[in-house]
């Protein structure tokens, strides 16, 4: 298998796993609808500096991630593809930077392309590369920053060192402008820990200077401009989003115990975690002999300690650690398979388990699946889903058999990376519609009503549904019933607080708004009964789906 063939395999992996699934599942709330609404508001208002969420000041993150999403939606359209393309592209850049680092620190053949393929097929990078949140873009900036620093620190020529360090600083600035000070802390502790491990004390004092200057040079003008358009942003962002989240987060900031990330690591490294025995065997005989061990140890251990010390935790926070795992897995497995071509019982057992699961799924079509409550999970016909699942599992098993045939280690690993592709491609189609819609799919619930909501003269919306309504209707001029959820941001600006009403004020607000035009009401917990009481405004039409209720009112005569 030539370099061109391996490159073609890697490109096909990215297309199948990251581009094809972009439109295969609903928009998830609150995260995807939130970031989609912010980007849409930038596009529609043509104000790229003010940080607004449905017209309210929103100071949780700097604007880089919103800018990238807005550009993507401007190019590809205001749809799921445009919303999710930026994270998918970020996953590709992360994988390419991972491969570049592996190639720099290890002389094994095809190691860069193998590490790229492993990174693309780890579970967490794949999941967050298909979801419109900022963590994938943040991880890309961090990985590119580390890649350029490694190239600079290992290049013998001074002019190239300065060039690579400068680009490292540019990437660090991108990470900082995406999620804040962690974008500077992560590269600093990774690079610093790596140089300390190697006892390069002089380099520790000199090498970080150029990236620091470069990062400040890029960030400073943008920081000043952001401050001009968002007074108080940096004060709120530093104290609330960093200091308080690190020390004593509230319920909205996901407090978790210190060990929270430890079980996330093997889960996030699936599907390659299943080869842990081979990884360990190859790791002992290969990685510890070069500088790769110190870099990967610093990259995994130090950010993990920093994140574990914080009280606020989410699984996506450890996404920037997985490029180091990809390098460890790629180098270790390449070394292992270079010494043995033997197909183990475990390899064959996994394949037969896939076949058994495929046959079981197919049997449900023939014997009936009512006892599985499948029709409650999938509101449309469940038969085709079981058939699709069976075909995907059989394809996985066949590709796994195909992957065990080559005797060349690089060829075998590329085929191993490709094996689960059919299953990952269709994963979005197998999500249980009923369960998801009832929990976090507000955008899909409102799809049929989005045009009526967009045309209403006045929008009155439960604060917990505001981003779903904004994303669905492209409107940001609504009155909120709340505060609640992400709109309760502690800024409490007087002009913005005037847009909020209590649940007790809804009837009066609807009646008042009817005097000037039609009214659309989106409320939670299915409590439209109050509008059927004597004297209450009478809805022209009603729609109820789960906990979401929509009522349309005509203008009062």
Q: What is the DSSP string of 283-331?
A: HHHTGGGSTHHHHHHHHHHHHHHHHHHSSB--GGGGGGGHHHHHHHHHH
Residue 410 vs residues 110, 123, 331, 402, 499: alpha-carbon distances, Å: 7, 21, 10, 14, 60
Q: Quote the tokens at residue 18.
A: 């990251």
- Contact assessment for residue 402 and residue 351, using Cβ atoms and an 8 Å cutoff: no
485 vs 42, 158, 463, CA distance in Å?
A: 22, 52, 7
Contact between 197 and 294 under an 8 Å Cβ cutoff? The reply is yes
Query: Which pLDDT value is given to residue 317?
Result: 94
pLDDT at 494: 83
Report pTM: 0.92
Q: How far is CA 19 from CA 23, 90, 118, in A?
A: 9, 12, 17
Cα 4 to its chain centre, rounded Å, is 30
Q: Which uninterrupted H or E stretch holds 382? A: none
Q: What is the pLDDT, as a whole number, of residue 380? A: 59
Q: What is the chain's pLDDT, residue by residue, as a tens digit (557 residues)?
A: 567 877 888 889 999 999 999 988 888 888 899 999 999 999 999 999 999 999 999 998 999 999 999 999 999 999 999 999 999 999 999 999 999 999 999 888 889 999 999 999 999 999 999 999 999 999 999 999 999 999 999 999 999 999 999 999 999 999 999 999 999 999 999 999 999 999 999 999 999 999 999 999 999 999 999 999 998 898 888 888 777 776 766 655 667 888 999 999 999 998 887 788 888 888 877 765 665 788 999 999 999 999 998 877 889 999 999 999 999 999 998 888 888 767 776 667 778 888 888 888 887 766 655 555 555 566 556 677 788 888 999 998 898 888 888 888 888 888 888 888 888 888 877 776 655 555 555 787 788 889 999 999 999 999 988 999 999 999 999 999 987 777 877 677 888 888 999 989 999 999 999 999 999 999 987 678 888 888 889 899 998 877 788 999 999 87
H/E segment holding residue 544: strand 541-545
Residue partners of 334: CB distance under 8 A and separation at least 6: 108, 109, 110, 111, 114, 282, 286, 409, 410, 413
Report the largest interatomic distance among the alpha carbons of the chain, rounded to a whole angstrom.
Answer: 85
Question: Per-domain residue ranges for the chain?
Answer: 59-241+256-339, 345-430, 442-553
Phi, psi of 233 (to 5 degrees): -60, -50
Nearest-angstrom CA–CA distance, 218 and 174? 9
């Amino acid at each position: 298998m030539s370099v061109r063939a391996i490159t073609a395999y890697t490109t096909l992996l990215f297309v199948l796993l990251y581009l094809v699934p972009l439109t295969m599942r609903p928009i998830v709330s609150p995260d995807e609808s939130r970031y989609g609404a912010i980007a849409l508001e930038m596009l529609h208002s043509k104000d790229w500096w003010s940080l607004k969420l449905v017209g309210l000041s929103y100071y949780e993150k700097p604007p880089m991630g919103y800018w990238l999403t807005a550009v993507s939606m401007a190019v590809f359209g205001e749809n799921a593809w445009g919303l999710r393309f930026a994270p998918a592209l970020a996953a590709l850049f992360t994988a390419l930077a991972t491969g570049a680092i592996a190639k720099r620190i290890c002389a094994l053949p095809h190691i860069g392309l193998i590490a790229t393929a492993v990174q693309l097929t780890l579970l967490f990078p794949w999941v967050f590369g298909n979801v419109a949140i900022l963590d994938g873009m943040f991880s890309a900036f961090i990985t590119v920053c580390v890649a350029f620093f490694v190239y600079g620190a290992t290049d013998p020529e001074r002019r190239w060192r300065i060039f690579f360090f400068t680009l490292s600083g540019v990437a660090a600035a991108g990470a900082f402008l995406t999620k804040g000070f962690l974008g500077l802390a992560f590269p600093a502790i990774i690079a610093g820990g790596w140089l300390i491990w190697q006892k390069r004390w002089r380099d520790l004092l000199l090498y970080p200077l150029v990236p620091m200057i470069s990062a400040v040079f890029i960030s400073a003008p943008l920081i000043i401009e952001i401050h001009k358009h968002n007074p108080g942003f940096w004060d709120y962002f530093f104290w609330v989003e960093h200091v308080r989240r690190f020390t004593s987060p509230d319920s909205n900031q996901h407090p978790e115990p210190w060990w929270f990330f430890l079980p996330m690591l093997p889960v996030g490294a699936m599907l390659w975690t299943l080869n842990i025995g081979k990884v360990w065997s190859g790791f002992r005989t290969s990685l510890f002999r070069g500088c790769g061990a110190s870099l990967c140890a610093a990259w995994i251990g130090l950010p993990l300690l920093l994140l574990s010390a914080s009280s606020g935790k989410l699984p996506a926070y450890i996404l920037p650690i997985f490029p180091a795992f990809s390098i460890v897995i790629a180098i270790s497995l390449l070394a292992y398979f270079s010494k043995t071509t033997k197909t183990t019982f475990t390899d064959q057992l996994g394949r037969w388990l896939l076949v058994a699961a495929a046959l079981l799924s197919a049997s449900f079509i023939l014997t009936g699946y009512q006892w599985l409550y499948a029709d409650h999970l999938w509101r449309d016909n469940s038969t085709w889903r079981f058939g699709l699942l069976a075909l995907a599992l059989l394809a996985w098993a066949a590709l796994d058999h195909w992957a065990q045939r080559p005797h060349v280690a690089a060829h075998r690993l590329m085929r191993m990376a490709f094996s689960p592709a059919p299953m990952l491609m269709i994963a979005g189609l197998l999500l249980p519609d009923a369960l998801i819609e009832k929990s976090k799919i507000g955008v899909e619930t409102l799809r049929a009503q989005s045009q009526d909501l967009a045309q209403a003269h006045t929008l009155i919306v439960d604060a917990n549904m505001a981003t779903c309504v904004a994303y669905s209707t492209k409107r940001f001029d609504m009155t909120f019933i709340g505060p609640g959820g992400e709109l309760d941001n502690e800024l409490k600006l007087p002009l913005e607080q005037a847009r909020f009403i209590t649940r007790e004020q809804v009837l009066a607000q609807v009646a008042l708004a009817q005097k000037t035009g039609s009214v659309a009401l989106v409320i939670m917990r299915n409590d439209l009964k109050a509008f059927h009481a004597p004297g209450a405004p009478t809805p022209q039409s009603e729609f109820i789906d789960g906990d979401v209720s929509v009522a349309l009112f005509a203008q009062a005569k």
